[in-house]
Amino acid sequence: MTPEPSASPFNIPADSRVTVYGAHGRPEAAEFVPAGAFLAEDDGRFPADVVILFVSTAADLAHELATAAGSVESGGVLWVCYPTAEIDGVTPDLNRDTVASLFETNDWEPVGDGTLNARWSAVRGQPTGI
């Protein structure tokens, strides 16, 4: 995986439909939510070209990955954002390799990663075989 530039980690084209999962009630994620993105409040499927999933733990990612991945339209990408520093007293159990492993068990592959800030990182994925 090649690190993405940190200034604009998602590199989302202006005409893209964007759905964000896991940002509600997470003020630290607000600065990373692209303007015009649809904020999904539940685990329903909200199709988009770019799907961004914020998770705090490996268990959250395992539980929410299928829904987020299922929302990515053909040719789209999924970004999984995870904490790299303690948040709300919880030490993170996620890292780039953990996210990559969960991608692979769901027929996705990691294709890039990036640092959002000193407390958050992200891994970009796409369906295996694209």
Residue 11, domain member (yes or no): no
Q: Answer whether 111's CB lies under 8 Å from 92's CB.
A: no
Residue 99, domain member (yes or no): yes
Which carries the bigger pLDDT value, residue 5 or residue 117?
117
The domain that holds 62 is classified in CATH as 3.40.50.150
Looking at the 3D structure of the chain, how many domains does it have? 1
Chain segment 81-114, per-residue pLDDT in tens: 999 988 777 788 999 999 999 999 999 999 999 9
Query: How much is the pLDDT for 8?
Result: 53
Query: How much is the pLDDT for 19?
Result: 94
Residue 120, domain member (yes or no): yes
Model's pTM, two decimal places? 0.87
Residue 118, domain member (yes or no): yes
Residue 114, domain member (yes or no): yes
Chain segment 36-85, per-residue pLDDT in tens: 889 987 777 899 999 999 999 999 999 999 999 999 999 999 999 999 98
Residue 90, domain member (yes or no): yes
Which pairing describes strands 38-40 and 120-127: parallel, antiparallel, or unpaired? unpaired
Residue 2, domain member (yes or no): no
Residue 31, domain member (yes or no): yes
Query: How much is the pLDDT for 87?
Result: 75
Candidates 114, 123, 120; CA nearest to 4 is 114
pLDDT tier for residue 21 given thresholds of 50, 70 and 90: very high
- What's the domain range around 96? 18-127
Query: How much is the pLDDT for 80?
Result: 97
DSSP state of 125: E
Beta strands in 5-71, from DSSP E residues, in sequence order: 18-21, 38-40, 48-54
